[in-house]
Chains A and B, each alone.
Chain A
Amino acid sequence: MKKLLKLEHFSELIKDGDKLLVGGFGLSGTPLSLIDEIATSGKKNLTVVSNNLGEKGKGLGKLLVSGNLKKAIGSYFTTNGDAVNAWSKGELEIELVPQGTLAEAIRCGGAGIGGFYTKTAVGTKLAEGKHKMTFDDGDYILEKAIKGDVALIKALKADTLGNLIYDQTGRNFNPVMATAAKLVIAEVDEIVEAGEIKPEEIVTPHLFVDYVVVTKYVKEGGRYVEPATTN
């Protein structure tokens, strides 16, 4: 399989200062193995675009501990105490974006659209400095598209071409992120032969996906755990 990548070679594809789009809503639909590789890679000054920064010490939360991050762009960081602390100490820049604006900005980034006008956040602190336009039904603000150097996404299954399907609400930001970066790497539970996933069931067509990595995590009791901790 052409696109198959070994986990240990993954971090060679990341450069210091890269902007990473990382799928997930909390820890759901998060590429946990890829994040673990970054945590031990020594990469510096990364910007992460993700709805949250995982949880304290879990998922993207690990990168706060290992010191890889310069900046986080997303909608909700309050629940990760490490993110709040790093920001308070000036060790982490945070750009807060309403969740729907974040999703749409990434969608535009992948769709060749430079920006869009939205009514979300009009009249709030998050609209400060943004261009305002009045349309037929009211005021809108301009939001710029978001693109990444590398997208790290989590899918349930890939076929040997790189077509992807997702597990339930683990889909979240992953399909849009798969469209909006120069390099797209999908972590999956399983790889099947092309043709095994029906065309009408494929959510992310293979043209978006550069590499597929098989996760080192296993799902037990509905939660991903590291095999080492499960015996």
Chain B
Amino acid sequence: MSQQQRIKIARRIAEEFEDNQIINLGVGIPTLIPDYIEGKDVYLHSENGLLGMGPTPEEEFVNMDLISASKKPVSVETGASIFDSSDSFLMIRGGHVDVAVLGTLQVDETGEVANWAVPGQNILGVGGAMDLVAGAKKIIIATMHTSKDGTPKLLKKLTFPSSGVRKVDMIVTEHAVFEFKDEKMFLIEVLSDITLEELKEITPASYELSTKKLIRV
């Protein structure tokens, strides 16, 4: 069930992509997305220094010096390029990456994201999360609507440390799609059989119904 929901999120996000976009996919649900980008020419950017990342190779072609940001073996697409870490983050920070799809711990109702640290736990890893939040042209959050124990993730205010002041553009969960405009959150699609009342109950963040016709998929 949960894997089906994760795939639903991945599929829905893939619909957002446009031809010729440069896309950076974070860890977690975003890693499922490449299987669902059908018929679109997009270029996957990996922050360890690769543009034109391809699928997992057959075992005989594995080279652990050709890996993704999740440190898994990958292949290269025709026309791929390889560069060092400073150029890779120049691309990210400098606004040359069109879309970053990120997992998250929490998002608040203005679109501020917390996706690197949990209070009270050791804070020993940030990776490229803050660079992507600061620099990608469009940020889409891929997340389950609540954490495993049912704790809401879409909140009025973050309780976990922020990843930056830059606001995200869209959230896709197994239940709904939200868009942000001028730091306001709008429900634009319902993706499950959840009622609007039930959705409200698991979503402490305030949101408005989109002025466009609300789509129920």
Contacts and interface: CB of A to CB of B under 8 A. Distances in A.
Interface in A46-91: 51, 75-79, 83-84, 87-88
Given A98-B128, A119-B93, A169 B135 contact: no
B128 to A, nearest CB: 4
A176 B85 contact: yes
Contact of B67 (A25, A75, A118): A25
A42 interface: no
A96 B47 contact: no
Contact of B82 (A87, A96, A171, A221): A171
Interface string A114-150: 0000111111111000000000001100000000000
Given A99-B127, A168-B65, A172-B49, A121 B164 contact: yes
A100 B93 contact: yes
A105 B86 CA distance: 9
Contact of A76 (B90, B125, B166): B125
A172 B164 contact: no
Interface string A196-226: 0000000100000000000000000111100
A230 to B, nearest CB: 15
A157 to B, nearest CB: 13
Interface in B146-182: 161-166
A124 B84 contact: no
B165 A123 contact: yes
Interface band, chain A: 35 or more
Interface residues of B, number: 45
A171 B162 CA distance: 31
B66 interface: yes
B84 A174 contact: yes
Contacts of A173: 84-85
B84 A76 contact: no
B130 A126 contact: yes
A117 B71 CA distance: 29
B66 A123 contact: no
B43 interface: no
Interface in A148-199: 167-176
Given A100-B131, A169-B50, A172-B49, A122 B86 contact: no
Contacts of B166: 119
A27 interface: yes
A176 B67 CA distance: 19
Contact of B128 (A75, A79, A94, A139): A75
Contacts of A43: none
A45 B61 CA distance: 40
A122 B128 CA distance: 14
A107 interface: yes
A222 B124 contact: no
A175 B135 contact: no
Interface in B58-86: 59, 61-67, 71, 73, 76, 82-86
Contacts of B124: 76-78, 83-84, 87, 94, 96
B82 A169 contact: yes
B122 interface: yes
Contacts of B76: 168
B126 interface: yes
Contact of A78 (B47, B83, B125, B161): B125
B60 to A, nearest CB: 8
Nearest to A30: B65
B46 interface: yes
A101 interface: yes
B45 to A, nearest CB: 12
Contacts of B163: 124
Sort A-B residue pairs by CB-CB distance and give the 3 closest, nearest first: A100-B89, A170-B65, A100-B131
15 contacts: A27-B64, A27-B71, A28-B71, A79-B125, A99-B131, A100-B92, A100-B130, A103-B85, A119-B164, A123-B164, A124-B161, A167-B65, A167-B66, A169-B48, A169-B66
Given A126-B126, A222-B64, 15 more contacts: A25-B71, A51-B85, A78-B125, A84-B124, A98-B128, A98-B129, A99-B47, A100-B92, A101-B130, A104-B86, A118-B93, A119-B93, A122-B164, A124-B163, A171-B49
